[in-house]
C-alpha cells in the first residue's frame, strides 16, 4: 500500500492488488476532498530577547487533521531519499520541516492532480490500474502490476 502511493506502481499478486486498490482509492478520495482545507493563522511567541514575534502559519482544519490521522493508520513512514550530491547537513535541513513525507505527497500531489482530473472527466474514482503479467514461477500465482493512473 505505502509503496504504491510512494513509487506510483508495484508488482504483486492479483489478490493483494485487489485489496490494495480498494484502500488506495479510498485514501486518494479523502486526499481529494481535504487537500485545500487549511486555515491561515497568526502565531505569537517571545524570542530570546523577550520581544513578541508574530508569525503567519497555515494550519489544517479539524476535518483535514482527522483525514491525516486516518492515513497515518494505514500508511507507514517512508523516509526521503538522500540525493547523490547532498551532504548530511543539507539532507537534514531539507527534510526537517516534513515529518510525514507520504502524507504530504497525498495532499500536495495526488489531491490536486486527481481533483483536476475528476473535474475534467466529470467523474470520480478509477485512480489505479491493474495489468496482468502472467503466472509467477514456482507457485503459479497470478502476477500483476498495479499503478496509479
pLDDT digits (tens, 9 = 90+) for 57-67: 888 899 999 99
What does DSSP assign to residue 75?
-
Name the band, by pLDDT with cuts 50, 70 and 90, for residue 26.
Answer: very high
Find all residues with CB under 8 Å of 79, minimum gap 6, and list them.
95, 101
Give the pLDDT confidence score for residue 58 in this predicted structure: 87
The chain-wide mean pLDDT, for the chain, equals 92
pTM: 0.84
Give me the residues paired with residue 144 across strands.
Answer: 12, 132
pLDDT digits (tens, 9 = 90+) for 12-23: 999 999 999 999
Long-range contacts of 23-28 (CB under 8 A, 24+ apart): 23/74, 24/127, 24/128, 24/148, 25/125, 25/126, 25/127, 25/128, 27/70, 27/71, 27/74, 27/75, 27/106, 28/106, 28/110, 28/111, 28/114, 28/127
Are 3 and 20 spatial neighbours (Cβ–Cβ below 8 Å)? no
**Domains with residue ranges and CATH for the chain:** 2-148 (3.90.1030.10)
pLDDT digits (tens, 9 = 90+) for 30-46: 999 999 888 999 999 89
Amino acid at each position: 500500500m505505502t509503496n504504491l502511493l510512494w513509487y506510483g506502481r508495484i508488482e504483486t499478486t492479483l489478490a493483494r492488488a485487489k485489496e490494495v486498490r480498494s484502500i488506495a482509492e479510498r485514501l486518494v478520495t479523502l486526499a481529494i476532498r481535504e487537500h485545500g482545507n487549511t486555515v491561515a493563522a497568526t502565531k505569537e511567541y517571545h524570542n530570546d530577547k523577550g520581544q513578541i514575534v508574530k508569525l503567519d502559519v497555515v494550519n489544517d482544519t479539524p476535518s483535514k487533521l482527522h483525514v491525516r490521522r486516518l492515513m497515518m493508520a494505514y500508511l507507514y513512514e517512508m523516509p526521503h531519499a538522500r540525493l547523490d550530491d547532498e551532504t548530511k547537513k543539507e539532507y537534514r535541513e531539507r527534510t526537517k520541516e516534513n515529518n510525514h513525507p507520504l502524507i504530504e505527497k497525498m495532499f500536495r500531489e495526488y489531491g490536486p492532480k486527481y481533483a483536476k482530473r475528476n473535474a475534467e472527466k466529470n467523474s470520480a474514482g478509477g485512480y489505479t490500474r491493474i495489468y496482468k503479467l502472467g503466472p509467477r514461477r514456482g507457485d503459479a500465482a497470478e502476477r500483476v502490476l498495479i499503478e496509479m493512473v
